[in-house]
């Protein structure tokens, strides 16, 4: 193997190793594209509401966090909080990052929120004055699946926890870097064998 070939191979491998693995967005919604309303039902096919209601608030309409766009009051306005479910997402086997932003209701009572996605399930208890917090969870799928992200507020007093953003992204696979390292090791062994001859 010539010096030029060795150099080009080394540069290609190092370039590939230094390139960060990219995550892909599977689903993302900040709720700004929907009309502000109580007892919302139209989410453009991105969400469904069952067993109760949710409200789309903000931007001057029951706006508890001015300047934060629109967000979801997970307890609606019928005294029955709805199951707020994303459309079914096609997920391949692998790891995903679920990220969502929650806060307390700001209206004097605490709420529980059950969050689920595939095998992941967690209950959050939020005091009224709990601030806006971003939660990030890794969810693993053993096989190709259809799965929805579901939020269920435990209250029934028309003052639910507030949901700001939701996203699901792929977790870059570590195997790519491992394969590149294996290739680099193979190149090194080829070079050593040629030198020993």
Of 148, 142, 143, the closest CA to residue 168 belongs to 148
Q: CB–CB of 113/49 below 8 Å?
A: no
C-alpha to C-alpha distance for 18 and 24, rounded to whole angstroms: 19
Q: Where are the beta strands (DSSP E) in 130-193?
A: 133-141, 145-147, 150-153, 162-170
Question: pLDDT digit string (tens) for 88-127?
Answer: 999 999 999 999 999 999 999 999 999 999 999 999 999 9
Residue 126 CB partners (closer than 8 Å, separation 6+): 102, 103, 104, 105, 110, 111, 112, 113, 161
C-alpha to C-alpha distance for 110 and 153, rounded to whole angstroms: 11
Question: pLDDT digit string (tens) for 33-92?
Answer: 999 999 999 999 999 999 999 999 999 999 999 999 999 999 999 999 999 999 999 999
Q: CB–CB of 191/6 below 8 Å?
A: yes
Q: How many Cβ atoms sit within 10 Å of the Cβ of residue 16? A: 14
C-alpha to C-alpha distance for 149 and 147, rounded to whole angstroms: 7
Q: How confident is the model at residue 173 (pLDDT cuts 50, 70, 90)?
A: confident
SS3 of 184, please? helix
Question: pLDDT digit string (tens) for 14-25?
Answer: 444 445 568 899
């Amino acid at each position: 193997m010539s010096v030029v070939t060795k150099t080009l191979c080394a540069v290609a491998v190092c370039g590939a190793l230094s390139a960060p693995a990219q995550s892909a967005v599977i689903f993302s919604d900040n709720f700004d594209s929907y009309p502000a309303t109580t007892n919302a039902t139209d989410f453009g096919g991105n969400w469904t509401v069952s067993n109760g209601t949710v409200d789309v608030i903000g931007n001057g309409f029951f706006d508890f966090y001015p300047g934060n766009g629109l967000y979801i009051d997970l307890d609606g306005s019928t005294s029955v909080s709805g199951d707020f479910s994303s459309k079914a997402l096609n997920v391949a086997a692998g790891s995903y990052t679920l990220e969502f932003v929650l806060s307390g209701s700001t209206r004097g009572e605490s709420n529980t929120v059950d969050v689920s996605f595939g095998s992941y399930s967690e209950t959050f208890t939020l005091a009224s004055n709990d601030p806006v917090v971003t939660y990030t969870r890794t969810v693993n799928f053993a096989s190709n699946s259809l799965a929805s992200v579901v939020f269920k507020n435990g209250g029934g007093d028309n003052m639910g926890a507030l949901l700001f953003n939701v996203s699901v992204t792929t977790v870059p696979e570590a195997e790519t870097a491992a394969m590149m390292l294996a290739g680099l090791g193979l190149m090194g062994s080829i070079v050593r064998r040629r030198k020993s001859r």
